[in-house]
């Protein structure tokens, strides 16, 4: 009848591997232990994740829509990292300075429901609630001379499998008013939750676990289509109250990274998105964001990181924006061509919190992408050049990261093409 049942199943496998050169930090130690100064640090991770969601949507009379659902996810990871002793001239590995195997697991069960009450054709309110049960586990095995030389620990160091549990309740309330068929205003109050988790244990002063962080989110907005649908506007004002904010920190004694919690923070701002189709085939789209994301309470005095009220949150930009143009045109009766491009801008930011007031400054950058191609029936051929100016926009790194003199950049100038078949 009028009920609709939806099942969504997903499986994801994620793998990565990388290697850092830690000679600057541990070269003298590997030379003392193995007679060589090279200390590459290979790491790899594999995560398997399965998710299942079931939703039942049905009306309750003429003025109420009801959604009831359940969600399940399970993921397991296999993380390993080593520090090798290597002859820097020949590349020959002569010993293992450190090895760690870290095996975390995450399982979540959740039930949720939404009710949308239509008081009139113009006004409705959506109410939502979600309850989650979260189970986590982890185990760890560390070995090698690193434990004795740096951490004053016996090798091997074994952490048996450990289990933790938590529950989380979140909600939302969204009233909407349609001023006209082409103009709607809305408000939203909602809560957010991110679970905590385990850290590698062999790092003096590092907490074995970090706590969840929670948000209360407030938003008012407007959505409109004007000029016979040739102009659309989406704008919003938002304020987010953030408690126990999760942070990435680096232990200054060992150089090992870990997750911790700060105090309270806020994020507030305005977002505006506009799309225009002034003539046939041409689309002009732009968005801008003005934001203010900062601590509202200083870190505790016993914290390994320094932060006071008013300090900006890591990697938060005061201003960012994007301008894009896309033009389609007929080539033949069955082929359409297109050209387009976009310019995106990210403002200056500050990096991770450190043990002092000093933080890494990350300058603003802009990048330009171009594309051209053709569409035929269900086929699309697209040629592109991304980061046309080959800008070296800095994403992360520097002070508070590891190593503190390394940075991650946006992808350099990249040209290519793609062929897409839609079924």
Q: Would strands 40-59 and 183-194 be described as parallel, antiparallel, or unpaired?
A: unpaired
Is residue 34 classed as helix, strand or coil in its secondary structure?
A: helix
Report how far residue 234's alpha carbon sits from residue 236's, in angstroms, rounded to the nearest whole number: 7
- What's the 3-state SS for 96-136? EEEEEEEEEEEEEEEEEEEEEEECCCCEEEEEEEEEEEEEE
The confidence band for 340, taking pLDDT boundaries of 50, 70 and 90, is very high
Question: Are the C-beta atoms of residues 246 and 213 closer than 8 Å to each other?
Answer: yes
What does the pLDDT read at residue 123? 96
The confidence band for 252, taking pLDDT boundaries of 50, 70 and 90, is low
pLDDT digits (tens, 9 = 90+) for 56-81: 999 998 899 999 999 999 999 999 99
What does the pLDDT read at residue 253? 66
The confidence band for 375, taking pLDDT boundaries of 50, 70 and 90, is very high
What does the pLDDT read at residue 159? 84
Report how far residue 406's alpha carbon sits from residue 350's, in angstroms, rounded to the nearest whole number: 15
Q: What are phi and psi of 60, to 5 degrees?
A: -115, 90
Question: Are the C-beta atoms of residues 192 and 160 closer than 8 Å to each other?
Answer: no
Question: Are the C-beta atoms of residues 2 and 58 closer than 8 Å to each other?
Answer: yes
The confidence band for 422, taking pLDDT boundaries of 50, 70 and 90, is very high
Report how far residue 156's alpha carbon sits from residue 160's, in angstroms, rounded to the nearest whole number: 12
Could you tell me the two tokens for 249?
């920190």
The confidence band for 222, taking pLDDT boundaries of 50, 70 and 90, is very high
pLDDT reading at 203 higher than 80: no
The confidence band for 211, taking pLDDT boundaries of 50, 70 and 90, is confident
| Number of Cβ atoms within 10 Å of the Cβ of 180 | 9
Is residue 385 classed as helix, strand or coil in its secondary structure?
A: strand
The confidence band for 208, taking pLDDT boundaries of 50, 70 and 90, is confident
Could you tell me the two tokens for 167?
């529950």
Report how far residue 196's alpha carbon sits from residue 210's, in angstroms, rounded to the nearest whole number: 5
**Assign residue 227 a region: left if phi > 0, alpha if psi is -120 to 50, beta otherwise?**
left
The stretch 389-417 carries a mean pLDDT of 92
Least confident of 90-99, 201-210, 320-329, 397-406: 201-210
What does the pLDDT read at residue 257? 74
pLDDT reading at 255 higher than 80: no
| Token pair 């939806």 in the structure block, residue | 6
Could you tell me the two tokens for 230?
């040739």
Q: Which residues contact 124 (CB under 8 A, 6 or more apart)?
A: 116, 117, 118, 175, 176
What does the pLDDT read at residue 205? 66
What does the pLDDT read at residue 306? 87
The stretch 264-275 carries a mean pLDDT of 96
The average confidence (pLDDT) of the chain is: 92
What does the pLDDT read at residue 254? 64
What does the pLDDT read at residue 263? 84
Peptide bond into 403 cis (omega under 30): yes
Report how far residue 348's alpha carbon sits from residue 312's, in angstroms, rounded to the nearest whole number: 11
Report how far residue 344's alpha carbon sits from residue 316's, in angstroms, rounded to the nearest whole number: 16
The confidence band for 369, taking pLDDT boundaries of 50, 70 and 90, is very high
Torsion of CA 391, 395, 399, 405, to 10 degrees: -50
What does the pLDDT read at residue 356? 87
The stretch 47-59 carries a mean pLDDT of 97
Secondary-structure percent of the chain, ordered helix, strand, coil, rounded to 5: 5, 65, 30
327: buried, middle or exposed (CB in 10 Å: 19+, 13-18, 0-12)?
middle
Which residue, among 414, 418, 324, 341, has the nearest Cα to 374 in the 3D structure?
418
Could you tell me the two tokens for 13?
């496998």
Higher pLDDT, 202 or 320: 320
pLDDT digits (tens, 9 = 90+) for 135-194: 999 898 989 988 888 777 888 888 888 888 889 999 999 999 999 999 999 999 999 999
Q: Which residues contact 201 (CB under 8 A, 6 or more apart)?
A: 140, 157, 159, 208
The stretch 48-62 carries a mean pLDDT of 95
Could you tell me the two tokens for 373?
């191609």
Report which secondary-structure segment, H or E, holds 410.
Answer: none
What does the pLDDT read at residue 201? 66
Question: Are the C-beta atoms of residues 42 and 93 closer than 8 Å to each other?
Answer: no
What does the pLDDT read at residue 202? 62
pTM: 0.82
Radius of gyration of the chain (CA): 26
């Amino acid at each position: 009848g009028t009920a609709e049942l939806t099942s969504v199943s997903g499986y994801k496998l994620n793998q990565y591997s990388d290697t850092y050169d830690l000679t600057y930090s541990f070269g003298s130690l590997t030379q003392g232990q193995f007679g060589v100064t090279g200390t590459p640090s290979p790491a790899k991770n594999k995560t398997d994740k399965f998710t299942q969601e079931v939703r039942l949507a049905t009306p309750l009379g003429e003025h109420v829509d009801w959604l009831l659902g359940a969600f399940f996810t399970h993921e397991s990871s296999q993380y390993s990292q080593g520090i090798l002793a290597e002859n820097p001239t020949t590349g020959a590995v002569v010993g293992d300075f450190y090895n760690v195997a870290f095996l975390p697991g995450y399982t979540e069960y959740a039930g949720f429901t939404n009710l949308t009450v239509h008081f009139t054709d113009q006004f409705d309110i959506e109410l939502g609630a979600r309850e989650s049960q979260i189970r986590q586990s982890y185990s760890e095995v560390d070995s090698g001379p690193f434990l004795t030389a740096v951490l004053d620990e016996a090798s091997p160091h074994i952490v048996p499998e450990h289990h933790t549990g938590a529950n989380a309740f979140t909600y939302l309330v969204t009233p909407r008013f349609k001023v006209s068929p082409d103009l709607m205003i809305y408000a939203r109050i909602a809560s957010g939750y991110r679970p905590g988790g385990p850290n590698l244990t062999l790092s003096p002063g590092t907490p074995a676990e970090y706590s969840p962080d929670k948000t209360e989110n407030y938003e008012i907005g407007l959505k409109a289509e004007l000029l016979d649908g040739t102009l659309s506007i989406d704008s919003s004002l938002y304020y987010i109250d953030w408690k126990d904010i999760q942070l990435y920190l680096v232990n200054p004694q060992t150089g090992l990274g870990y997750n911790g919690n700060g105090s309270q923070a806020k994020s507030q701002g305005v977002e505006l998105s506009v799309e225009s189709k002034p003539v046939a085939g041409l689309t002009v789209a732009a968005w801008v964001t003005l934001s203010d994301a900062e601590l509202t309470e200083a870190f505790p005095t016993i914290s390994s990181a320094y932060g006071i009220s008013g300090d900006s949150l890591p990697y938060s930009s005061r201003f960012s924006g994007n301008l894009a143009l896309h033009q389609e045109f007929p080539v033949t009766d069955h082929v359409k061509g297109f050209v387009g491009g976009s310019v995106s801008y990210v403002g200056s930011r500050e990096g991770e919190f450190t043990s002092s007031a000093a933080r890494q400054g990350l300058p603003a950058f802009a990048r330009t992408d171009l594309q051209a191609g053709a569409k035929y029936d269900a086929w699309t051929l697209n040629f592109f050049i991304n980061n046309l100016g080959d800008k070296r926009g800095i994403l992360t790194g520097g002070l508070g990261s590891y190593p503190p003199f390394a940075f991650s950049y946006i992808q350099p100038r990249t040209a290519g093409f793609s062929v897409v078949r839609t079924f």
